[in-house]
């Protein structure tokens, strides 16, 4: 499984910001995970928290801005 997170994917939609991560497997399955916040920072923090809860990223740190976590 590969997971792609990019802080530049956080976009404003109406009065909210949406942060997203994209993941896919070698079998061709893929999913987009997104969160919504009042600010871009809030949306990013919620996304990081959700990915940690799902055990898709380590508890200690996350790299953004075009990073690839696997």
More confident residue, 62 or 42: 42
Mean pLDDT (the chain) is: 82
CA distance 64 to 15: 23
pLDDT at 43: 93
Task: State residue 6's pLDDT score.
Answer: 73
Which DSSP category does 38 fall into?
A: S
pTM tops 0.85, yes or no: no
């Amino acid at each position: 499984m590969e997971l792609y997170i990019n802080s530049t994917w956080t976009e404003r939609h109406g009065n909210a910001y949406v942060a997203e991560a994209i993941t896919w497997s070698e079998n061709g399955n893929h999913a987009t995970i997104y969160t919504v916040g009042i600010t871009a920072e809030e949306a990013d923090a919620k996304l990081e928290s959700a990915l940690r809860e799902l055990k898709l990223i380590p508890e200690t740190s996350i790299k953004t801005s075009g990073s690839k976590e696997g």
